[in-house]
Structure 1
Amino acid sequence: MSLTMTTDAAFADDVLASPLPVLVEFTAEWCPPCKKIAPVLAQIAQDEKDRLRVVALDVDTNPETTLKYQVLGMPTMALFVGGEIVARVMGIRPRGALLRELEPHLAAAKTSA
């Protein structure tokens, strides 16, 4: 399973207006670490689909969003809740470590929904 891709044009609808928290992976085709973490993110997307969406944004073809959120390195994962970044994780993380970093924000989003 691969991640759903978003674009500069679709970002507001796909991410900012989402009723669920959205984890955005800022990625690039040429980025080996991005390829390494993609299966981890795909598994999280599948396992957590009831409380979290996971999408990818190619930084090379979507510079507007990349610049707006000051993404300087890949992979960068940003968790959006209610249209705002509440967490940012850079680099590769094992699934468990990534979920531990996201969990407080997912729990907070659920209680405020």
Structure 2
Amino acid sequence: MSNLNAVTDDTFEAEVLKSDKPVLVDFWAEWCGPCRQVGPILDELNAEHGEKVTFVKLNVDENPVTPSTYRVTGIPTLNVYKDGEVVKQIVGARPKSALLKELADFI
């Protein structure tokens, strides 16, 4: 499991949409095997690039409104938000090297 800060439906707007820097949101669930694989990778990316991008997680089972709003239908889904808009979406587990390439514009 990931050690990232958690956001909820209630805190999403303040912590993600109104953030001054890009925010990567990990949409995940406790029962999701691929989500558990991605968690430690995101922890590493947060440690290495957290000054440029805020990394957070949102449990889709406990917070159904936000995933529905952003049409998150499969997990893990990683959405990058900048200035309140989705600027990147990555669906499915990826190795660290692939995530670094996908996120190169932000980190």
The reply to whether TM is greater than 0.5 is yes
Q: Secondary structure at the match of 1:103?
A: coil
**Distance in 2 separating the partners of 1:7 and 1:43:** 22
Compute the TM-score of the two structures, normalised by the length of structure 2.
0.95
Equivalent residue number for residue 26 of structure 2: 25
Task: Answer 1 or 2: which has greater helix percent.
Answer: 1
**Higher deviation after alignment, 38-47 or 90-99:** 90-99
Superposed CA deviations along residues 2-23 of structure 1, whole A, max 9, x for unmatched, are 0110000000011001111000
Shift of 1:86: 0.5
Aligned length: 106
Alignment of 1:31-42 (within 5 A): 31-42=32-43
Aligned to 1:15: 16
Q: Structure 1 unaligned segments of length 5 or more: list them.
A: 108-113
**1:63-89 deviation line (CA, Å, top 9, x unaligned):** 110100000011000000111100000
- Aligned pairs for 1:80-91 within 5 A: 80-91=81-92
Identity %: 41
- Structure 1 residues 43-70: Cα deviation after superposition (integer angstroms, max 9, x where no partner): 1011001100110000011111010000
* TM-score, length-scaled by structure 1: 0.90
Runs of 5+ consecutive residues of structure 2 not aligned to the other structure: none
Structure 1 partner of 2:73: 72
Q: Distance in 2 between matches of 1:62 and 1:24?
A: 13
Q: Following TM superposition, where does structure 1 have runs of at least 4 consecutive aligned residues deviating by more than 4 angstroms?
A: none
